Amino acid sequence: MDSAQMLEYFESHPPRNIAGFETMSVTFPDIRFDGHGEELNPAFWIKCKCGSDAHQIHGFKLIVEDGYIFLSPLEVECSKCSVRRGLLDTDVHGYDAELGHGSSTRRAEGEATHFRCANCSSVNFNTFVRFEYPQDLFDGSFDDTGKAKEDLYTWTTCVGRCTGCQGIWIVADFECA
């Protein structure tokens, strides 16, 4: 299977952690992602089952030298119907967690808070999630794990586009392997 076929597979098989959402495959030509440098990086625009694409993103702030980063678990709350769904928990989702190796990233402490736009302080975003996959998932060595290939991503990034000012922000970026 070549890279284009592998990417097509992942674009048509979103991971289980976004199964509670309507999803649409998207590309981000102007965003540079962290990660392991793998070329398989499908991204999805998530929408609530009610049809709304506006969310409030909840996570846990960790104060760092130049601001803060958001830690897992992440949840999104629909700005229209107020349904709140889990988006990503690094203790449960991704390569290491799925294969029983534990979480490969620091996890939240404290109380969840809203992600805010750095330009206008809005808390409403269109939410996108990008996943990075290694090509060796298709070499047969993972077939006996009982895990779906789409759940074995090694890196993930949550991106928000502010519904107010249209600013685009990396909300959270997690290594998962």
What is the C-alpha to C-alpha distance for residues 71 and 107, in angstroms, rounded to an integer? 6
Nearest to 75 by CA among 51, 111, 27: 111
Res 85: pLDDT: 97
What is the C-alpha to C-alpha distance for residues 92 and 5, in angstroms, rounded to an integer? 27
Write phi, then psi, for 137 (nearest 5 degrees): -65, -20
Map residue 163 onto helix, strand or coil.
coil
Domain ranges of the chain: 3-175
What is the C-alpha to C-alpha distance for residues 19 and 46, in angstroms, rounded to an integer? 10
Show Cβ contacts of residue 9 under 8 Å, excluding neighbours closer than 6 positions: 1, 149, 150
pLDDT for 4-53, tens place per residue?
A: 999 999 999 999 999 999 999 998 767 777 777 778 999 999 999 999 99
What is the C-alpha to C-alpha distance for residues 72 and 58, in angstroms, rounded to an integer? 9
Amino acid at 167: G
What is the C-alpha to C-alpha distance for residues 170 and 125, in angstroms, rounded to an integer? 11
Res 160: pLDDT: 96
In order of 58, 71, 118, 136, the CA distances from 106 in angstroms are 16, 7, 23, 26
- 126-165 b/e with 16+ CB inside 10 Å = b? bbbbbbbbbeebbeeebeeeebebbbbbbbbbbbbbbbee
Res 33: pLDDT: 77
pLDDT for 47-77, tens place per residue?
A: 999 999 999 999 998 888 887 888 999 999 9
- Look at 35 and 164; give whichever has higher pLDDT: 164
pLDDT value at 117 more than 80: yes
pLDDT for 82-116, tens place per residue?
A: 999 999 999 999 999 999 998 777 777 778 999 99
How far out from the chain centre does Cα 102 lie? 18
